[in-house]
Amino acid sequence: MVERVGVDTGRPVRQDEGAAFARVQTRCLNRSATRACLSWLESGTRAERTPEFCPNAALFDALIRPPAADWQI
């Protein structure tokens, strides 16, 4: 999911000594959206935003990387 929507995966891992990443995993594994998520992933759909069924949608959308053209070095 995170790769498909362009999430900077390092940020939740670094946040709160990994606690944010642990919350992401727990939400993902303990939700009824698992079937919808697997179906979406299998479809190969690409998206600019995280699908609404995802329990981590708000966090993932906040962590989406800007397109490379928007990066400043």
CA nearest 37: which of 54, 25, 60, 50? 54
Give the C-alpha separation, 65 to 34, whole Å: 24
Q: What is the pLDDT of residue 9?
A: 78
User: Per-domain residue ranges for the chain?
Assistant: 2-63
pLDDT at position 37 over 60: yes
Give the C-alpha separation, 26 to 36, whole Å: 17
| This prediction's pTM | 0.72
Q: What is the pLDDT of residue 42?
A: 92
Q: In the structure encoding, which two tokens stand for residue 23, read together?
A: 């919350």
Q: How many CB atoms lie within 10 A of CB 62?
A: 12
